[in-house]
Amino acid sequence: MKEKKKANPFHGSKRAFRNGAYASVLTVVVLAAVILFNLVIRALPTKYTELDISTSALFTLSDTSKNLLRELDTDITAYYLATSGQEDTNITRLLDRYADESSHFRWEQRDPVLYPTFAEQYEGASTGCVVLTTADKYTVVSYSDMYEMDLDAYYYSGSQEYTFQAENALTSGIARTIRTTEYQLYELTGHGETALESDFTDTLDNAGVTVSQLNLTTAGSIPEDADVVLVNAPLADLTAGEVTQLTDYLNQGGKLLIATDFTVDTPNLDGLLSGCGMTRQAGVLVETDADHYPYGYPQTYLLPNIDANEITAGVTSGMMVYAPIAQGIVQSEDSDYTLTPLLTTGDSAYSLENYATAETAEKSDTDPEGSFDVAVAAENPTTGGKLVWINCPNVLLSGTNQSVSGGNAQLLGSVVNWFNDAQTTAVIDGKSMSATSLSVPNVAIIGLGVLFIFVLPIVCLIVGVVVCLIRRRR
């Protein structure tokens, strides 16, 4: 009779040891992978790890800010003055976004309790502000610059509604801090011109442009420091001598921004524009496309297309420019100037030539139709002279600008940037802080109810039955 082979008493323990070793190694590998994954995630910019799901995209930078930051070649350190534990997370998240876009931008928090004398070295600095610094220059962005209360809502309803203006304030502050050159714009006076209001002067200030008035009758000549001369919808024609001075200025590399009123006869000024290859289109422009004029307003109140080019690059995507009551601009094929359309009507617009006597705005058989230029830029590649003509007297009015949330001011800032070959900033629209309720349609509510109350339980029950049957057969 054969003897039974004795079982190895150590066989089970070896297997258990081996399994335990495998489990330990696997645990170590998983932990290492988790740690490595977290380190990688933490190293990534916040724009890849934090999604901006706010209704008004509070922490999503505009193209204007991104372009400025990407072209930044000066180191900027932003100091956020806030007590530890009482930081404004809206501001800190936005500063993180700025740091993500440029290696030349970084920010630090300075607690006034821990650094009681830090703010003293920066005039105007206080708790809640952001101080933007370079090696030899600084700009203080106050808390009130970053939040703006809607006064209309407060006065009419008593509610305190705020807009988040931090991006506009910070980007403008960066542009001012890195700027090495100041620019001078002169507003021509003496012919009933419309003076720029704060909407536009603030934009120019953000772009490093100082605004002053110029009366050629009393001044006698255009100042040598004039970087731009603005002729804004004069109610009387310029004299032949004034036009000669402006023409000479342009031929010497000067920059002119001209807005005209079709109700005013200005043959001298028109002669200057004609010399740059542009003339007036007879009549008043009328839109037929509902997308190109505001609902409930006359079809002569234009919302023109913004042609995409380097001159209009500072206008935020999705913004509109408002041009109530305008004329078209006809480009000459024979000109020393390179012409670039900036604002154009829709393809189905027409020019109402007999507007002075017409009882309605209906098109006649003789009225030209198609797409018309409302604003055109002209550049002489030989002399460097630049001119922008807006054939609408209302574009640079505050009320017009506010109707499109600052779009007209953005256009002005972009034009000035092009004039001065400077990377500055235009107006960046503020973002509402009001919470928007999430509403679910009734159809969706019924569908979700059926899904969670009936469908999912039934599916789980069926899966459970199938699993039990399979196990019994085994």
Task: Work out the pLDDT band at 472, boundaries 50, 70, 90.
Answer: confident
Q: Which of 108-117, 263-272, 402-411 has the lowest mean pLDDT?
A: 402-411
- Which residue has better confidence, 227 or 18? 227
- Per-residue pLDDT, 318: 79
- Per-residue pLDDT, 454: 81
Residue 166, pLDDT above cutoff 60: yes
Closest CA to 323 of 272, 372, 278: 372
Q: Which domains does the chain have, with CATH numbers?
A: 63-157 (3.40.30.10), 183-424 (3.40.50.880)
- Which positions ≥6 away from 74 have C-beta within 8 Å? 104, 134, 178
- Per-residue pLDDT, 356: 83
Give me the mean pLDDT over the 179-201 stretch. 92
- Per-residue pLDDT, 319: 85
- Per-residue pLDDT, 109: 96
Taking only the tens place, the pLDDT of each residue in 328-354 is: 999 998 889 999 999 999 999 999 998
- Which positions ≥6 away from 461 have C-beta within 8 Å? none
- Per-residue pLDDT, 59: 64
Residue 361, pLDDT above cutoff 80: yes
- Per-residue pLDDT, 53: 45
Task: Work out the pLDDT band at 7, boundaries 50, 70, 90.
Answer: low
Crossing angle of helices 198-206 and 166-178, in 10° steps, is 50
Residue 466, pLDDT above cutoff 50: yes
Task: Work out the pLDDT band at 12, boundaries 50, 70, 90.
Answer: low
444: part of which helix (H) or strand (E)?
helix 442-450
Give me the mean pLDDT over the 428-439 stretch. 55
* Residue ranges of E strands in 98-244: 105-110, 130-133, 138-141, 147-149, 162-164, 183-188, 209-214, 228-232
Across the chain, how many H-helices and E-strands are there? 15, 22
* Residue ranges of E strands in 134-239: 138-141, 147-149, 162-164, 183-188, 209-214, 228-232
- Which residue has better confidence, 18 or 424? 18
Residue 88, pLDDT above cutoff 60: yes
Residue 11, pLDDT above cutoff 60: no
Taking only the tens place, the pLDDT of each residue in 40-83 is: 655 555 555 554 445 555 668 887 788 888 888 999 999 999 99
Backbone angles phi, psi at 165, to 5 degrees: -100, 15
Greatest distance between any 2 Cα atoms in the chain: 135
Task: Work out the pLDDT band at 154, boundaries 50, 70, 90.
Answer: very low
Taking only the tens place, the pLDDT of each residue in 196-254 is: 999 899 888 877 789 999 999 999 999 999 999 999 999 999 999 999 999 999 999 99
Q: Compute the distance between CA of residue 247 and CA of residue 98 in angstroms, rounded to an integer.
A: 43
Average pLDDT, the chain: 85
Crossing angle of helices 240-251 and 267-275, in 10° steps, is 20
Q: Output the pTM of the full model.
A: 0.70
Give me the mean pLDDT over the 118-134 stretch. 94
- Per-residue pLDDT, 281: 95
- Which residue has better confidence, 31 or 439? 31
Give me the mean pLDDT over the 87-101 stretch. 92
Measured CA to CA in angstroms, residue 300 lies from 170, 178, 342, 350 at distances of 37, 42, 18, 10
Beta bridge partners of 210: 184
- Per-residue pLDDT, 438: 47
Q: Which of 178-187, 425-434, 447-456 has the lowest mean pLDDT?
A: 425-434
Within 44-122, where are the H helices? 46-49, 63-70, 89-101
Q: Which of 48-62, 106-120, 214-228, 440-454 has the lowest mean pLDDT?
A: 48-62
